[in-house]
Structure 1
Amino acid sequence: MTLVEPSIDETTRVYRKVTWRLVPFLFACYVAAYLDRVNVGFAKLQMLSDLQFSETVYGLGAGIFFLGYFLFEVPSNMILHKVGARIWIARVMLSWAVISAAMMFVTSPTWFYVLRFLLGLAEAGLFPGVILYLTYWYPSERRGGIIAMFMTGIPIAGLIGGPVSGWIMNAFAGTGGLAGWQWLFLIEALPSVVLGFCVLAYLDDGIQKAKWLSADEKALLAHNVAADGASVTAHRFRDGFTNGWVWLLCGIYFFFIMGLYGVGFWLPTLIKGAGVSDPLQIGLLTMLPYGAAAVAMITVGRLSDAARERRWHITVPGLVGVAGWLVSIRFSTDLVIAEAALTVATIGVLVTLAQFWCLPTAILAGAAAATGIAVINSVGNLAGFVSPYLIGWIIDTTKSTSLGVYTLAACLALGSLLALTVPKRLVNR
């Protein structure tokens, strides 16, 4: 069908329709995924003493997830590109739900390591797969806000997961002879099972298969995506491995992920260090950093799209987050100041992450996007292994969290400054 040039209002209406159809559902999937990935941070509050695990054992187990994630992420995204998002995302969600629930049976460091590794294998592909999937629907000029909306699943998982996890661990402790942390793994795996089956019924593989769009709406969307892709030179599968900018982005993302899992795995511990001992209270106090970060991610994403500027919308929030980490160290025993500083740090970490994904999706398209996005996410997520293990080792060695937090701040600063080395001509569109 020949596309009649649509009005701005018509284009806005169509994209709003697509967004309401796709983003809330994908967001819910990501919330479930992120809860299953990091609820070990809350389980840790009881699990370590029950099983006699050291901080180093915990750090290694928390991080080994990302070795499995690293190994299977690129193959997973290539399969998704071949077979479609609907079947593959459903497979991802159902398999990780089963493994996450099995964490309740951990009795030794070995089984802790094995199940965390398998969880990484199972979950590999969800996040880069969704980022790739969004490029099928949106041109680069609209992706800043859309990716930010999807990635608010991280802070919302923290916002919801904190108090819910604390409540589960308190309310179910001892029920059926199981500890609170065992019930935590079981109950928080259930949403992923439900959503996994919903994916099969709800998600479409692309524009042309969407029965809820008219022919004119499909033509408009397809035209915009094709026009956007025409300005990108990297389209082939191998371009995702050989493009030099991909490897720079891997390094930047590595530093950002160091900060992300500093928040995800250690925020409850840092709040506890400020003088709070009850798991439910700790959960409630994690709500403020995550809630503020969700608002900031959407706000900065919209500003970035409106200005069509990407690099400074990464660097400035990142450096603000560094300041938050540093203040949290200086006032680590003052609950009010420490909570405010950790909120600023969390905002900085999560805003930079959301805005980062505007860079590779502007540089890569088609098959190159399938491999390149997965390469960047898999290499970057090796920091998910390094970060918790390194911080755990530092805490065990120094008996203090300060040096570990300095490390997180340095990584966030490096990633933020390196973002400015990406040429603006490639990404500011």
Structure 2
Amino acid sequence: MSPDETLLIRRCAEAARAAARRMAATDAATREALLEAVARELEAGREAILAANARDLEAGRAAGLGAAMLDRLALDPVRLEALIAAVRAVNALPDPLGEVAWERTRPDGLRIGRLRAPLGAIAMVYESRPNVTVDAAVLCLKAGNACVLRGGSEARHSNAALLACVQAALEGLGLPPEAASGVPVPGREAVAELLRHDDCLDLVIPRGGEGLIRQVAAVSRVPVIRHYKGVCHLFVERSADPEAALRLLIDGKCARPSACNALETLLVDAPIAASFLSRAAAALAARGVRLRACPAALPLLPGAEPASAEDWDREYLDLVLSVRVVESFDAALAHIARHGSLHTEAIATRDPGLAARFRREVDASAVMVNASTRFNDGGELGLGAEIGISTTKLHAYGPMGLEALTTRKWVVEGEGHTRTPVAT
């Protein structure tokens, strides 16, 4: 990078820090007005946003992007309406700031509490999905933060059109446009340079493929929320309702295979393997799903390929599914413990004792009992929207909504209290 570009990055980080202080000083009414203004700007900018997205899709096809990547990149009128609705859903959530989450009075009369406060300046580095531009901005702003957004080059026109709407809303209310800014220099080196400035940025959230997240984690001096991949399992236990289990399988794998909460592996209890897999094979084949099977499952799945050792750790993000027959509940848990990615795990069962064990013993950011893995999503869990899914456990675990974009600071109130006697 040139010295001028390095200086631009530094100024971007400093401006985000200054804007974060401004946002932290806003009241709930101002932030609510801001998010409603963002929704109106998106409504007014529909044509420009869709035209920008069409340019990105055309360039993506010319560059040979795969179907899964193009699906993540695409905006259409329905998805844009859903994005606007998500902005208003976030705005309808209770204000996350100022709440005293814990309060006690000490024997000496000292009052101690924990107050919810903004995290500060947050960097978002993401790929493909342009809706992340808006989701990230409105969640950060609603929680009194500032954000620096860096989307993938494949969505640059879409991201610019969406960010322009957010910045227009900020300026319309007299707030600094730097509260939601883009990285002013192209290229990966610019991201690495930005993430050196831990004196200005408080958190970085990478959202995209495993390669992107590992790259960000390797170079960042700023704390990183990690989510490397979503290798999600459905275990169909021998007592399961087969109709319900089949619905969970089809929804989890076929509804949106490019999503990180889509199913990648089906585990089937050995006593029901023959009966369940015969029905599952037909349903999946009708939807174009290709199967990779263990030796026990292979003869039960016409057209399936033998699974390799690597398949059990693979996030396909496509209409491909690994299938394994397991001998017991404990064998299923062992497989998940070895190959899971701490993202989402599901069980189909009518045994309440095993359901309780699954909830307690499976380590994942969301555990589903007789429910689809697709519910591990901020909107579906009532967060309004999410800025990402954390599998790192520290600070946040699972979908990160408003509360995950705040911290709690100690507030101590006294009447001249001192820890030791002070002579005056």
The structure that is helix-richer by fraction is: 1
The structure that is strand-richer by fraction is: 2
Kindly name which structure, 1 or 2, has the bigger radius of gyration based on alpha carbons: 2
Bin the TM-score by the shorter chain: under 0.3
Answer 1 or 2: higher relative contact order, Cα 8 Å, separation at least 6. Answer: 1
Name the TM-score, length of structure 1 as normaliser: 0.25
Name the TM-score, length of structure 2 as normaliser: 0.25
